[in-house]
């Protein structure tokens, strides 16, 4: 078996592991049970969920984003970079060759992603309140993903970097369920709950913005 095949299988196994553990975690969460609700709705839970993933994420709606616009934009770029790294990993392992334009775009997004990730890490280290809040997982997760993006970027220039890139990806996938990166799943879970709660009460979408 070639090294490439071993890498491919290992990455696939780590992805599978990650998905299985995350699925188990979500199922365990569901297993805590669902309480029936009795209060009559004033607004729409569905509209609340739409808001939670749409308008409710925008800085002019969400004060925490508006007040920290740098962090907000950095966070978005970081996540776009991560998505790019995942897609790039898939294309490399599936031997899909990217046109030059797409490769250039990937490089830009990965570079911006790395810079954003490192900036967020620096912020976490330098700001006393962020240091106070942070545990080991906060640093490990950030550094791991930064290295993943960096190695993805390096691989866009030199295929020889594939082995470290894949290795970091494997470690990342295995780490995901055990640390904060599990929010890749739980983000959607809690935002749905957010929309349901505030939507039902008629708080969001704001009355003046309802159809």
Residues near another protein (CB under 8 A) are 21, 24-25, 28-40, 42-43, 52, 62-65, 67-68, 71, 75, 127-130, 132-138, 177-178, 180, 182-183, 186-187, 189-195, 197-198, 201-204, 206-208
Q: Which residues contact 86 (CB under 8 A, 6 or more apart)?
A: none
Q: Smallest distance from the beta carbon of 188 to another protein, in angstroms? A: 9
Cβ proximity to another protein: between 4 and 72 the closer is 72
Two tokens at 194? 């957010």
Q: Smallest distance from the beta carbon of 131 to another protein, in angstroms? A: 9
Q: Smallest distance from the beta carbon of 3 to another protein, in angstroms? A: 30
Cβ proximity to another protein: between 98 and 203 the closer is 203
- d(C-alpha 135, C-alpha 70), whole Å: 22
- d(C-alpha 19, C-alpha 11), whole Å: 12
Cβ proximity to another protein: between 20 and 105 the closer is 20
Give yes or no for a contact between 88 and 156, defined as CB atoms under 8 angstroms apart.
yes
Q: Check the CA dihedral 93-94-98-102 and report its sign.
A: negative
Cβ proximity to another protein: between 25 and 161 the closer is 25
DSSP conformational letter for 37 = -
């Amino acid at each position: 078996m070639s090294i490439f095949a071993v890498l491919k299988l290992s990455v696939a196994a780590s992805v599978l592991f990650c998905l299985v553990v995350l699925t188990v975690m979500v199922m365990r969460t569901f297993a805590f049970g669902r309480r029936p609700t009795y209060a009559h709705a004033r607004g729409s839970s569905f509209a609340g969920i739409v808001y939670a993933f749409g308008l409710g994420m925008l800085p002019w709606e969400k004060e925490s984003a508006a007040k920290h616009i740098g962090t907000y934009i950095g966070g978005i770029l970081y996540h776009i970079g991560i998505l790019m790294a995942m897609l790039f990993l898939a294309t490399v392992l599936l031997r899909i060759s990217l046109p030059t334009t797409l490769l250039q775009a990937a490089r830009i997004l990965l570079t911006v992603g790395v810079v954003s990730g490192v900036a967020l890490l620096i912020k976490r280290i330098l700001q006393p309140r962020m240091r106070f809040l942070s545990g080991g997982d906060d640093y490990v997760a950030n550094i791991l993903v930064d290295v993943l993006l960096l190695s993805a970027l390096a691989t866009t220039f030199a295929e020889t970097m594939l082995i470290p890139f894949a290795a970091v990806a494997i470690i990342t996938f295995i780490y995901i369920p055990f640390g904060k990166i599990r929010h890749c799943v739980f983000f959607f879970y809690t935002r749905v709950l957010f929309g349901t709660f505030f939507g039902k009460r008629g708080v969001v979408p704001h009355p003046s913005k309802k159809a």
